[in-house]
Amino acid sequence: MNAAVITPADRLGLTLFISIAVHAIIVLGIVFAAPDPAKKNPYPTLDVILAQEESKKAPDEADYLAQTNQDGGGNTEQATRPTRPPPTPAPLPVSGQSDIISPPRQVAAPPLPQTTKLITRAADEAEVPDVAAATPDEEAAATPSAAQLIMRSREIAQLSAEIEDASRAYSKLPRQLTITSRSKAYRDAAYMEAWRTKVERIGNLNYPEEARRRNLSGSLVMNVAINPDGSVRHVEITHSSGEKALDDAAVRIVHLAAPYAPFLPEHRKNYDVINITRAWQFLGGNRFASD
Same domain, 159 and 71: yes
pLDDT of 153 reads 84
Specify whether the CB–CB gap between 55 and 40 falls below 8 A.
Answer: no
Q: Specify whether 209 is located in the same domain as 181.
A: yes
Kindly report the backbone phi and psi dihedral angles of residue 91, in degrees, each rounded to the nearest multiple of 5, phi listed first.
Answer: -65, 145
Asked whether residue 166 is domain-assigned, the answer is: yes
Domain-ending residue, one of 155, 173, 191:
173
Q: Based on the structure, what is the number of domains in the chain?
A: 2
CATH code for the domain of 188: 3.30.1150
Indicate if 154 and 244 belong to the same structural domain. no
Q: What per-residue confidence (pLDDT) applies to 46?
A: 59
Does residue 211 belong to any structural domain of this protein? yes
Task: Give pLDDT, residue 81.
Answer: 60
Is 2 within a domain? no
Inter-residue contact 94 to 82 (CB < 8 Å): no
In a domain, 121, yes or no: no
Range of the domain at 282: 176-290
Mean pLDDT by 10 residues, the chain (291 residues): 70 85 75 60 62 70 70 61 54 50 55 54 49 56 77 85 67 72 72 92 93 92 94 94 94 94 87 91 90 73
Residue 39 maps to a domain: no
Q: Rounded to a whole number, what is the distance in angstroms from the first to the last CA of the chain?
A: 127
Q: Does any domain span residue 117?
A: no
Same domain, 165 and 59: yes
Whether residue 286 sits in one domain with residue 197: yes
pLDDT at 80: 62
Q: Rounded to whole angstroms, how far apart are CA atoms 195 and 281?
A: 16
Mark which of 173, 190, 224 sits at the end of a domain: 173
Are 153 and 71 within one domain?
Answer: yes
Nearest-5° angle of CA 220, CA 176, CA 77? 125
Give yes or no: residues 156 and 244 share one domain.
no
Same-domain status, 250 and 193: yes
Q: Are residues 146 and 205 in the same domain?
A: no
What are the strands, taking DSSP E only, across the chain? 92-94, 97-102, 115-119, 128-132, 176-179, 218-226, 232-239, 273-283, 287-290
Closest CA to 274 of 219, 220, 229: 229
Q: Is residue 64 part of a domain?
A: yes
> Are 151 and 200 within one domain?
no
Is there a single domain that holds both residue 218 and residue 257?
Answer: yes
pLDDT of residue 131: 46
In a domain, 284, yes or no: yes
Asked if 236 and 184 sit in the same domain, the reply is yes
